[in-house]
Amino acid sequence: MSRNCIVKEPKTLDKVIEADGIHEDQAFKIPGVNAISGRPKATRATRTTEFAVVAHAAEEIPASELKPNDVMSPTIDGVGTDVVAAAALVFLQSTV
């Protein structure tokens, strides 16, 4: 699988970064979310050319099993969203 992604519209990426910054606190209130990023959306494990606000969660839980307030909106300020399963980030202290 290629990790390269062509940005067709740079303004779209700017919108993703702006939406990410504005709504980050809201996304972290969703149970299990441990990181937020702006990156290409993935569909069936394949990255698309559409950038989205991506919530990284310990596991993907079907929306039907969540409370309505714990479901991420499909769009934020006109920008698509995505939820992906990802291990929690661990930051190590540098000894340098």
* pLDDT for 12: 62
Domain-located, residue 4: no
Is 3 part of any domain?
A: no
Residue 93 lies in a domain: no
Determine if the pTM surpasses 0.85.
Answer: no
Residue 5 belongs to a domain: no
The SS3 assignment for 62 reads: coil
- Containing domain of residue 64, as a range? 10-85
Q: Which residue has the tokens 């940005």?
A: 7
13 pLDDT more than 80 = no
43 vs 9: CA distance, rounded Å: 20
Total tally of structural domains belonging to the chain: 1
pLDDT tens digits along 18-69: 766 666 777 777 778 888 888 888 777 788 788 888 888 888 788 888 888 8
